[in-house]
Structure 1
Amino acid sequence: MNKDTKIYIAGHRGMVGSAIWRTLTANGYTNLLGATSSELDLRNQQDVQEFFAKAQPDVVIDAAAKVGGILANNDYPYQFIMENMQIQNNLIDTALQAGVEKFIFLGSSCIYPKMAPQPLKEDYLLTDSLEPTNEWYALAKITGVKACQAIRKQFGKDYVSLMPTNLYGTHDNFDLTSSHVLPAMLRKFHEAKRNNHAPVTLWGSGTPMREFLFVDDMAAAVVFALENKLPDYLYNVGTGEDLTIKHLAETIQKITGHQGEILWDSSKPDGTPRKLMDVSKMHQLGWQHQVSLGVGIQLTYDWFLENLNAFKEVKL
């Protein structure tokens, strides 16, 4: 991979895409392409085809997706399955038709069955039923994985899928109606601290186990996949370590300085009991994460505080 290889990052303004852009720039890559949603509607096939015809990228990294937590997935199932399939189908098929030899597709650990054995191995894909609260997003991502696998099988191109565990970090989404658990907690504890250390109510029982990966580590995994021809079509990307949601809440509470009570609303869903990734395949190839959870949350909170004015809905 040359440093002037033309690399198109779909979703380059998002948390993951922007981290990939920063990491590639830091590694000396000089020919990066991006287009905002107002410049390019990835759901529109003709728009995507015209963009590829003009830009002619050598490599495509698909970090674009409609994402959200349990609430958003539950309330908007059609948008989560249809828009994600539109985005990835347009990118994958147009890349194939345009002769793009290398494509990196980013998915999610939710592609694996709800009750799969732990830790989750790549081989568990499509062996049982999905978690109902996010099956729409998961189904879309599974079709993307299988499309890239089909291209490898039929056309011999280097199309690979990376499945990250729960990601968090700078440039995350802190909107309480659509964000994931870690940034939502961080914001809740921050606002409660500013509100005289008011109690914080969190969904579920606090007992589910979750794994979290700092987004810069995910970006490093993408660069690793970019610079190496990975022998298989699907790889998990994570830390291989998890903790309870209760432990996560207590960790965030300490970092934000909140001193109030934590209340658990057990009437709300817990989601999957446990989601720990088996990351041995990536470890065997030479990649592993570098940022510990405590350090990553502190870096995320520092960024959140520096960008409070960007979050218009945050109550100060």
Structure 2
Amino acid sequence: MSDGEDFTPGPLGRDATFYVAGHRGLVGSAIWRRLEVEGFTNLLGRTSAELDLKDRDATFAFFAETQPTYVVLAAAKVGGIMANSTYPVDFLSDNVRIQTNVIDAAIAHGVKRLLFLGSSCIYPKFAPQPIPEEALLTGHLEETNDAYAIAKIAGILHIQAARRQYGLPWISAMPTNLYGPNDNFSPTGSHVLPALIRRYDEASRSGAPSVTNWGTGTPRREFLHADDMADACLHLLEHYDGPTQVNVGTGTDVTIREIADTIAHVTGYEGQTLWDTTKPDGTPQKLLDVSLLRDAGWTSQITLKEGLSRTVDWYREHRDQLRG
């Protein structure tokens, strides 16, 4: 058997052991909630304090003990432009070790179905818009997060290699910019949307006359709520099999300036928004071609306005306990 050719996707066993690596993070926690709603009764998660996935021996021992049937690999070191630019060694080394250890341990212990989660930053900086899956490895990466992107590309190729060498029906999904509960809202490590939510919420509470954002506000970005992403992940596990990574997004985008205006409105901020054009913009546009995902039978359901409103409410409820 090669490349999963004898496998037919179908419903996953609700009582099988299902390991969600990174179950406390933005994506992992959403997947955990979705699986609970869908009736999975044997979910398995470990915090980074309980299991360091960078430790190969500990990771293999965990798989030997628990013998999971299904795995979603959502554990990763993530961050925004500042964090990626400042700590490229950490983003490359940590992510390569995490995913290599988990994938190798899953191979060694017979995991039947595995979903590896990457990021849309795997695609070239000037990829065609919207970005098709075929754009992978066709051009130079955005330099502000190239280390993280290379790690995720290595993960995609690792999954494809497992399919070729062992015939495993494992798949990869590449989400667009995600947001929602349990995101990283720290001032130095967060992505653009949670950073904006924190900034405007603080300005709204303090009565600050202005908020200053990085760049020009002209880059276009696509945003997907984490709960939608979780729904897409389960759908792909039960309906898709193929070596090609699958883009997961909404198929629509907005400018950073537009998203900032929306967040200002949702948080009730009435001051002025300024733009520091000496700071980098990052990739000018990142809109994913989601044709393959739609062909597999899935489309997003949560609108950006609804998702932002829910996320701001969650942030305000939890901001005193959040990291950073």
Identify which range, 103-112 or 301-310, moves more after superposition.
301-310
Q: CA deviation at 1:159?
A: 1.0
In structure 2, how many angstroms separate the alpha carbons of the residues matched to 1:311 and 1:138? 26
Q: CA deviation at 1:80?
A: 0.3
In structure 1, how many angstroms separate the alpha carbons of the residues matched to 2:323 and 2:57? 34
| Structure 1 residue 68 corresponds to structure 2 residue 79 | yes
Q: CA deviation at 1:16?
A: 0.7
Q: CA deviation at 1:312?
A: 6.7
Choose which of 310, 319, 324 in structure 2 pairs with 1:308: 319
Q: CA deviation at 1:150?
A: 1.0
Q: SS of the counterpart of 1:40?
A: coil
Query: Contact conserved, 1:159 with 1:233, CA < 8 A, in 2?
Result: no
**Structure 1 unaligned regions, length at least 5:** none
Aligned to 1:114: 125
Pairs within 5 Å for 1:95-174: 95-174=106-185
Query: Contact conserved, 2:186 with 2:323, CA < 8 A, in 1?
Result: no
Percent identity between matched residues is: 53
Identify which range, 24-33 or 225-234, moves more after superposition.
225-234
Q: SS of the counterpart of 2:19?
A: strand
Choose which of 83, 102, 110 in structure 2 pairs with 1:91: 102
In structure 2, how many angstroms separate the alpha carbons of the residues matched to 1:268 and 1:104? 36
Aligned to 1:287: 298
Aligned to 1:40: 51
Between 1 and 2, higher relative CO (CA 8 Å, sep ≥ 6) is seen in 2
Aligned to 1:195: 206
- With over 3 angstroms needed to count, the CA separation of the structure-2 counterparts of 1:100 and 1:312, relative to structure 1, is closer
Counterpart amino acid of residue 44 in structure 1: D
**Cα deviation digits, residues 68-94 of structure 1 (max 9, x gap):** 000000000100000000000000111
Q: SS of the counterpart of 1:230?
A: coil
Pairs within 5 Å for 1:241-260: 241-260=252-271
Q: CA deviation at 1:198?
A: 2.6
| Structure 1 residue 20 corresponds to structure 2 residue 31 | yes
**Cα deviation digits, residues 213-265 of structure 1 (max 9, x gap):** 00000000111122224234310000000010000000100000000000000
In structure 2, how many angstroms separate the alpha carbons of the residues matched to 1:39 and 1:224? 29
Query: Contact conserved, 2:219 with 2:255, CA < 8 A, in 1?
Result: yes
| Structure 1 residue 82 corresponds to structure 2 residue 93 | yes
Counterpart amino acid of residue 63 in structure 1: A
Aligned to 2:229: 218
In structure 2, how many angstroms separate the alpha carbons of the residues matched to 1:156 and 1:210? 36
Give the structure-1-normalised TM-score. 0.97
In structure 2, how many angstroms separate the alpha carbons of the residues matched to 1:295 and 1:230? 31
Aligned to 2:5: none
Query: Contact conserved, 1:189 with 1:200, CA < 8 A, in 2?
Result: yes
Aligned to 2:216: 205
Q: SS of the counterpart of 1:158?
A: coil
| Structure 1 residue 56 corresponds to structure 2 residue 67 | yes
Q: SS of the counterpart of 1:307?
A: helix
Q: CA RMSD in A?
A: 0.9
Where do 4+ consecutive residues of structure 1 move more than 4 Å? Answer: none
Q: SS of the counterpart of 1:213?
A: strand
In structure 2, how many angstroms separate the alpha carbons of the residues matched to 1:272 and 1:225? 28
Counterpart amino acid of residue 17 in structure 1: G
Counterpart amino acid of residue 249 in structure 2: G
- With over 3 angstroms needed to count, the CA separation of the structure-2 counterparts of 1:243 and 1:312, relative to structure 1, is closer
**Cα deviation digits, residues 85-141 of structure 1 (max 9, x gap):** 000000011101111121100000000000011000000000001000000000000
Counterpart amino acid of residue 102 in structure 2: L
**Structure 2 unaligned regions, length at least 5:** 1-11
In structure 2, how many angstroms separate the alpha carbons of the residues matched to 1:176 and 1:227? 38
Q: CA deviation at 1:309?
A: 2.0
Counterpart amino acid of residue 161 in structure 1: S
Aligned to 1:264: 275
In structure 1, how many angstroms separate the alpha carbons of the residues matched to 2:209 and 2:198? 13
Give the structure-2-normalised TM-score. 0.95
In structure 2, how many angstroms separate the alpha carbons of the residues matched to 1:16 and 1:198? 34
**Cα deviation digits, residues 34-75 of structure 1 (max 9, x gap):** 011111000000000000000000011000000000000000
In structure 2, how many angstroms separate the alpha carbons of the residues matched to 1:27 and 1:307? 26
